[in-house]
Structure 1
Amino acid sequence: MAASSNPLTSGFGPVIPLWLDGEQINTNVTYDVVSPSNEQKIYKSSSASVDDALRAVKSSQAAFETWAQVKPNERRDILLRAADILLRRKEEMRSISKQETGEVDSMFDFEFNLGVQACKSVAGLITAVRGAVPTMTDEGRSAMILREPYGVVLSIAPWNAPYALGLRACLAPLAMGNTVVLKGSEFSPGVYWAIASVLHEAGLPKGCLNTIIHRQQDAAEVTSALIASPSIRKVTFTGSAIVGGIIASQAAKLLKPTLMELGGKAPTIVCEDANLQDAALGAALGSFLHSGQICMCTERVIVHAAVADKFKEIFKETIDQVFGDPEGMMLVNAAPVLKNKSLVSDAISKGAKLFHGNTEQKASVQSAMHPIVVEDVKEGMTIYHTESFGPTVSLFTVESDDDAIRLANDTEYGLTASIFTEDLRRGLQIAKKIQSGAVHINSMSVHDESTLPHGGHKSSGYGRFNGVEGLEEWVQTKTVTWKD
């Protein structure tokens, strides 16, 4: 391996380096990073080996000894400087993400601003996590409950909202005095380089944040080695339920705690008293924002029969107006396009109907497709239970709130949901019966704020990001007692 000569803010040249122990390191093994927008190679990325991964852990373990002792106000100031640097380098960040993931400007602005706000929110909440001095039953005995960091954290983050989710994966652990090995997606290595670059420029000491990127075929070996390292004390993962289950199982065998945010099958319920224009826009945005590549995206639109015909008319018009680009919607590569078309084909072969769109409609590249709405979907069709994670949504008609709730909950997932009604009391009654980590009344299913705890029920995961709850994930209690 060779150290890169690139300064912190000058870009990464033809090969994206890893960040190891405060240095930018180019590995001997590399792979091509391909842009979904034109299916051409952008540049190469370094690819970490098991030895590189364990070197990152060793660096983070050494840094933990001093970082854990840094005062909260000093950690706060680093995060606030990082927010300013992110804003100053915003267009650089936009260019990287746009090339790597096909992210359109509106989606970039949305998720990048979430990342900036996370820096500020976590910085402001650092001192909100406190210990306690409980009253003891024994005369002359006292106690303190301390909050202490775990140590080295393995944070595994995805490509689909890389700034928001990459920053989320490391900010709270760092704020609480942990050090982080950040394993980013092979599809967005430049973004994870940029995140580390910003935090180092903000003054984060070397070793506190190390980044690992690797080829797809090395994922199992490198990830298993990281989890197995005795220095890794907690693991967080954002991604699919299948991979999350494997990671959680490996960590559990070693008695290591995990924080998981996994898949979703979000419902949007449209009551008969809803503002149908708002509901149609919310359902369209919730379904097709970022080409449906968000775990909170709507997968089921559930409409009361009394307004179904009118809603469908407005819904179709809204999709055409907002997402009617003749070139189609960009996905990260061709694989999810094939997956979504397969889900639709299976459903149609079993009796479902296309309400909107056509899987045969040509898009500009193989990584793009047009939005699809399928109706008459029933159990037994693969799409009924499978998260599409793409621009495909199922449309259902129901006769009652109870039917809507039953359908909304008939899934292994429970991340988020949306309800449209002009009766807040009714909306709250439905919300209480929905089995998910969040329910949004009169807004789309995709909603994330750094002050709100975020996480799932059922197979959508456990633990919480964001807010004070998100910070408390990264400290453990220690009880100290003494007798006078």
Structure 2
Amino acid sequence: MPSFTVPLFIDGQELRPRHTFDVVSPATGNVVHSCSAASVAHADAAVDAAARAFTTWRKSSPTQRRDVLLAAAHLLHARRHHVAQCIMDETGASAHWCHFNISFALDTLKDTAGSIPTLHGSFPALTDPQTSAIVAREPYGVVLAIAPWNAPIILGTRSIVSPLAAGNTVVFKATELAPRTMWALVSVLQDAGLPKGVLNMIVHDTQSAAAVTSAVIANPNVKKINFTGSTAVGRIIAALAGKHLKPLVLELGGKAAALVCEDANLQLAAEQCAIGALLNSGQVCMSTERILVSKSIKKQFVDLLKACVEHKFCSDSDPPVLINAVAAEKTQALVADALDKGASLVLGSPESWEAGSTKMKPLIIDEVTPDMDLYTLESFGPCVSIITVDSEEHAVQIANQSEYGLSAAVFTQDLARGLRLARDIETGAVHINSMTVHDETALPHGGVKSSGFGRFNTARGLDEWVKTKTITFQN
């Protein structure tokens, strides 16, 4: 039996109901701990607690909220080794990825704390000199925050912290795949001085997902939602939110393209594309899924890319680990379909695939065409597609064919050309001469098209969690 059970956290109390489920390490296949499973009643109790706490938290001073976030940063740093171990146990991620997660979360806590004073109203001039107005900015109320497993501390922190900083209270629906990591984050914030009920955490098992999620969204006390995850689930969340007229922020899937122009530094492009495609086993929404390479330099580039991937990611003793066997099988099915329809392998072999395994060696697939599922669908695994283009216009056309628009990259030594292409690509971010995986607290983060809407990070991300109220009065 597992020695630790992740609790629910409602109204300042840890709850461990009788119903639990096991959490399995994808790296070892072993049960690492169990987790409490929330019912609809638990979810309703969490919303009720957050609604009660909002009556006072909304009136908290910016200084109080700032101090809580800074204290949380101090505690997270002190507990960083425990948190990193939780991430490794639950997701199979590398130590480097885990500590990067924590470093980014620390930046998020500190930068958000520093941004709180930017939340101020205005005193506009009106046409009638005898009338004045104040435009106040107020928190929404209870926010439902939903974060996934692939970068659990980064995505969990940003889903919670900006709403709290703006004076909202939060019901955090943590992922069932990394609940102890999420609990470590909630514990840090609570121990930093949050009043009871301001932050609540629920986790459900897979069988209860639809019922619990629907109940929270339908609850009239929930005023806004943020969700980071797949586009398929994002559509369901958006439909439920629309039914109940709840605003939301969505950061969803991607099919990031890297455009490699004929004047690019090919060694740099190959290194950045390799890392962008295979960081965290390709399980990043911004992962480089497509490399659109000019015909004239394709062979040289592909040779360099293969060498980079072999050097950085092809250790027999430490192959990429996916979150579960289902994820590996999905990626393998996309690759198999492409090979059946005429694609070729530059690196990797289906013979290395093991049924039921979470481990999968990297794949580079060439001659990927529109009739293949891999051309359009997000793989979310350790593979990358090569697509040959005739011109930069052709590259932009292919990049924009995707329903997704989260991130892209352009490799060229002509900055003016890079900026021109960046303006033409339909995506939330374009990175010139660096990989598609790029996120930092100084930059707004989010997508367009089927990659979602709304933004995280910066004052823009904080603005998502306040609404305006106009108050007029006679002088």
TM-score bucket (shorter structure): over 0.9
Select the residue among 136, 156, 162 that pairs with 1:166: 156
Aligned partner of 1:34 among 11, 17, 24 = 24
Alignment partner of 2:422 out of 427, 431, 455: 431
3-state SS of 2:226 partner: strand
Q: TM-score, normalised by structure 2?
A: 0.98
Q: How many pairs were matched up?
A: 473
Against the structure 1 CA distance between its residues 13 and 77, is the aligned structure 2 distance closer, same or farther, given a 3 Å change threshold?
A: farther
Q: How does 1:413-432 map to 2 (within 5 A)?
A: 413-432=404-423
The answer to whether residue 472 in structure 2 is matched with residue 450 in structure 1 is: no
Q: State the Cα deviation string for residues 397-453 of structure 1 (Å, max 9, x = none).
A: 112110111111110000000111111111000000000000001110000001211
Contact kept, 8 Å, 2:306 with 2:364, in 1: the verdict is no
- Tell me how far apart the structure 2 counterparts of residues 460 and 472 of structure 1 sit (CA, whole Å): 20
Q: What TM-score, normalized to structure 1?
A: 0.96
Q: How does 1:302-451 map to 2 (within 5 A)?
A: 302-327=292-317, 328-362=319-353, 366-451=357-442
Asked if structure 2 preserves the Cα contact closer than 8 Å seen for 1:359 and 1:372, the reply is no
User: Where does residue 462 of structure 2 map in the other structure?
Assistant: 471
CA displacement 1:22-51 (0-9 Å, x = unmatched): 111101110010000111111110000000
Alignment of 1:236 onto 2:223 = no
> Which range is displaced more, 281-290 or 14-23?
14-23
- Which stretch of the first structure deviates more once superposed, 380-389 or 353-362? 353-362
Map of 2:238 onto structure 1: 248
User: Would you identify which runs of 4 or more consecutive aligned residues in structure 1 move more than 4 Å?
Assistant: 362-365
Match of 1:8 in 2: none
Seen in structure 2, the aligned counterparts of structure 1 residues 363 and 322 have a Cα distance that, compared at 3 Å, is farther
> Aligned equivalents of 2:23 and 2:86: distance in 1?
11
- The CA deviation string for residues 442-482 of structure 1, in whole angstroms up to 9 with x for no partner, is 11000000121100010100000000110000000000001
Equivalent residues of 2:369, 2:387 under 8 A apart: no
Match of residue 148 from structure 1: 138
Q: Does the 8 Å contact 2:6/2:183 carry over to 1?
A: yes
Shift in CA distance, 322/457, structure 1 to aligned 2, threshold 3 Å: same
Q: Say yes or no: does 1:137 pair with 2:121.
A: no
**Cα deviation per residue 1:232-263 (whole Å; 9 max; x = unaligned)?**
00011101111101111111111110110011
Amino acid at match of 1:61: A
SS at the partner of 2:455? coil
CA distance in 2, matches of 1:359, 1:89: 41
8 Å Cα contact 2:292-2:386 kept in structure 1: yes
List alignment gaps of at least 5 residues for structure 2.
none
* 2:450 corresponds to: 459
CA-CA distance at 1:170 after TM superposition? 0.4
Structure 1 counterpart SS, 2:250: strand
- 1:419–1:439 contact (8 Å) kept in structure 2: yes
Q: Is the 8 A contact 1:267 1:301 kept in 2?
A: yes
State the percentage of identical aligned residues.
48
- Alignment equivalent of 2:251, drawn from 248, 254, 261: 261
Aligned to 1:20: 10
Residue 286 of structure 1 deviates from its aligned partner by: 0.5
Counterpart mapping for 1:64-103 below 5 A: 64-103=54-93
What is the CA–CA distance in structure 1 between the aligned matches of 2:344 and 2:229, rounded to whole Å?
30
Following superposition, the deviation at residue 364 of structure 1 comes to 11
Q: CA RMSD in A?
A: 1.2
Q: Secondary structure at the match of 1:207?
A: coil
Distance between the aligned counterparts of 1:324 and 1:106, measured in 2? 16
* Matched position secondary structure for 2:201: strand
Corresponding position of 1:301: 291
Unpaired stretches in structure 1, ≥5 consecutive residues? 1-11
2:169 to 179, 187, 200: 179
User: Deviations 1:135-188 (Å, cap 9, x if unpaired)?
Assistant: 100121000100000000000100000000000000000000000000011000
The answer on 1:116 being equivalent to 2:106 is: yes
Kindly indicate whether residue 32 of structure 2 is the aligned counterpart of residue 51 of structure 1.
Answer: no
Residue 362 of structure 1: how far off its partner (Å): 4.9
In structure 2, how many angstroms separate the alpha carbons of the residues matched to 1:53 and 1:103?
30
SS in 2 for 1:329: coil
Task: Give, in angstroms, the shift of residue 307 of structure 1.
Answer: 1.3
Deviations 1:165-214 (A, max 9, x none): 00000000000000000001100000111011000111111111100111
Report if aligned partners of 1:240, 1:262 keep a CA contact under 8 Å in 2: yes
| Alpha-carbon distance between aligned partners in 1 of 2:256 and 2:407, rounded to the nearest angstrom | 6
Instruction: Check the 8 A contact 1:298/1:445 in 2, yes or no.
Output: yes
**C-alpha separation between the residues in 1 aligned to 2:81 and 2:99?**
10
1:390 to partner: Cα distance: 0.8
Rounded to whole Å, the distance in 2 between the matches of 1:418 and 1:13 is 45
